[in-house]
Each structure stands twice: as structure tokens, then as C-alpha cells.
Structure 1
Amino acid sequence: MTWTEPATWYANLASFYAAAAAFITDPAGDVLLVKPTYRDHWTFPGGYVDEGEYPHEACDREIREELGVAVVVGGLLVVDWSPPAGQRPRAIISFTFDCGSTASLDGFILPGQELEDIAFFPPREAEQRLPGNVATRVRAAIHARDRRTPVYLVGGRPPA
């Protein structure tokens, strides 16, 4: 049996991107979304995980950078594995964390160059404002929060 050198072994493994998002609601259960200046649709607040960073740390960092506030990054609600699509040549693993509830947007500061708006939406309206493959994370996050157990999705859907 021939052993493969570790450098060769690791170089041949699949690589992927990772992103982290915050699931924040208001006391009525409406979902916080942000409207990036560089996209036609709304998104959950969050972003890509940097090298050497854990997903929950990326979520915390992105919320501080995007909204100017500190939140408590709680438990993992949704993990969504999405295959390569469009101009994205690699799969992406999206981690959605429970970042609690807030009664108002007081203290939130939008960086004008990155975000143009922030608002709470009832779950169905939030789903309509998100891309189809991301919209299912709203119900998945609500379900996971209620049941206190993470939900696993594949391309926005439960695995077959």
C-alpha cells in the first residue's frame, strides 16, 4: 500500500466557502433583514467566514461591522450546504445563528457603502424578500429555535 503525502492528500480534498448569518427577531417574531447596496434582494445580516475564524466569531464580527452593535451569538439554528452555482465555483456552507430578539433598531448603524436599509418583516414577507434558496432558512430557523435543535438543509431544502 502506498501512502499519500499529507500535503498532496489535503490538496486533493474538496474545498468550499463558509458564511455566517444572524437570525434576529423582534418580540412579535418578525425577522430582521438587511438590504445590501450591491444586491437586488434582502439578506440576513452576516457574511463570509475569514481564514482562521470560527463561524460564530464571523457572525459576531459581521454584525458589529454591518450594524454597529454587539449581539450575543447563541446556538446554531441552520446549516445549509449549497452546491456551486452561477459564478461561485465552490460549494458554500451557511451557518445561521440565533442572535436573539430586539424591540427596536435604536443603536443600529448602517454603513452606507455596504447596506442601504434594515427592517423587520413578518416571516412570510421575509421569505419573499430573500432569494429562493435562502428563503427556506426563515422557517427552518424558527423551527430550530422552537425545538432547540439545529436544522440541516441541502441547497435550501431538507435532504432527501
Structure 2
Amino acid sequence: MSKPYLDPVTWYATLPTVFVCACLLITDPEGRVLLVKPNYRPTWDFPGGVVEEDEAPHECARREVTEELGVPVEVGDLLVVHWSPPSGERPRPLISFVFDGGVLSDADQITPEAEELDEVAFLPWHTAVTLLSGNITTRLLTARLARHEGRPIYLSDE
């Protein structure tokens, strides 16, 4: 005898959930990487943020970066998908998407969102990696490699 199927609402309610964020790798004509210093955490980060309900990751990256920097941005190719297990106070896995944000020629266009950001800077790669937390450093260096190789890369913190 076969087991009855669950109705879709019940079945979907049993599935695990994750947190999702999306950001952009943006550089300047000299090849320096753009990082932001949020005022709500001690470390620097990529420009980007958390995906809202019914929002695609690439749309989130565009919205968040435009809001944070005050500059309209184009979202290019997917560079990295990074899966991280639950950690510390985060009770669910996190999936981070990094898209290519291209080269921003005129840094004077940037108007940082003062309510959220303390600083915005184009930094040499060797400096940038010292300002990021461990898994974000890995994500940044992997995004650089993916852009160079012209292919997306999957990361896992397992």
C-alpha cells in the first residue's frame, strides 16, 4: 500500500530554509576592489545585502548596491555561490551570491548611504583581505579568480 502524498502547503512547510544574500564585485580602473564598512558590524564587506521575499539574488544585488552607493549599477555574470552552514547566532545556512559589478570609472559618483555605511573605499587586494572576516576573504579571492577565469565557482564551508 502506498503512502498518501502530502498536500503542497504541508510538504513545503516541512522543507529546510536558508538565508540568502547577494553582492557585487566592483573594481576601479586601477584594479582596486570596492569594499564598504557597515556601521552595524566591526568588519568590512562587499557592497550588497540580504535578499528580500520574492526577490531574485541579482535583483537584490542591484537594489542593495544602488541604495548603499547612490550609483546605478549593472549586474554582470555570476562569479560565486557560497554555502555556509549555521554558525554562532545564525540558526540556518547562508547562501551568498557574488555577481560581477564591473569597473566603476568615476568614484566621485559614489554617495554612501550614511544611515548604513561608515566608509566606502577602493582598496588594493592585499589591504582588502586584511579587513574582511575569514569566509568573506575567501569569497572575495574566489570572486577575483572567477572573474579572471570567466566561470562561476561554488564554495562550501563544510
Give the TM-score taking structure 1 as reference length: 0.93
Residues in 2 aligned to 1:136 and 1:124: alpha-carbon distance in whole angstroms: 13
- Structure 1 residue 145 displacement after superposition: 0.7
Q: Is the 8 A contact 1:123 1:138 kept in 2?
A: no
- How many residue pairs match? The answer is 156
- Structure 1 residue 32 displacement after superposition: 0.3
Residues in 2 aligned to 1:142 and 1:64: alpha-carbon distance in whole angstroms: 21
Structure 1, residues 31-83: CA drift from partner, whole Å, max 9, x if none?
A: 10000111111000000000011000000000111111111100000100011
- Structure 1 residue 124 displacement after superposition: 2.1
Report the secondary structure of 2:107's partner residue: coil
Residues in 1 aligned to 2:55 and 2:28: alpha-carbon distance in whole angstroms: 28
Which residue in the other structure is 1:120 paired with?
122
Q: Is the 8 A contact 1:32 1:118 kept in 2?
A: yes
Report the secondary structure of 1:143's partner residue: helix
Give the TM-score taking structure 2 as reference length: 0.94
Residues in 2 aligned to 1:143 and 1:28: alpha-carbon distance in whole angstroms: 17
- Structure 1 residue 4 displacement after superposition: 1.9
1:12-91 maps to which residues of 2 (within 5 A)? Answer: 12-91=14-93
- Structure 1 residue 151 displacement after superposition: 0.8
Residues in 2 aligned to 1:6 and 1:138: alpha-carbon distance in whole angstroms: 39
Residues in 2 aligned to 1:85 and 1:65: alpha-carbon distance in whole angstroms: 28
- Structure 1 residue 20 displacement after superposition: 0.4
Which residue in the other structure is 1:146 paired with?
148
Report the secondary structure of 1:106's partner residue: helix
Residues in 1 aligned to 2:138 and 2:127: alpha-carbon distance in whole angstroms: 12
Q: How large is the RMSD of aligned CA atoms in angstroms?
A: 1.1
Residues in 2 aligned to 1:135 and 1:113: alpha-carbon distance in whole angstroms: 25
Q: Which amino acid in structure 2 is aligned with residue 134 of structure 1? A: I
- Structure 1 residue 108 displacement after superposition: 0.8
Which residue in the other structure is 2:132 paired with?
130
Structure 2: stretches of 5+ with no match in the other structure: none
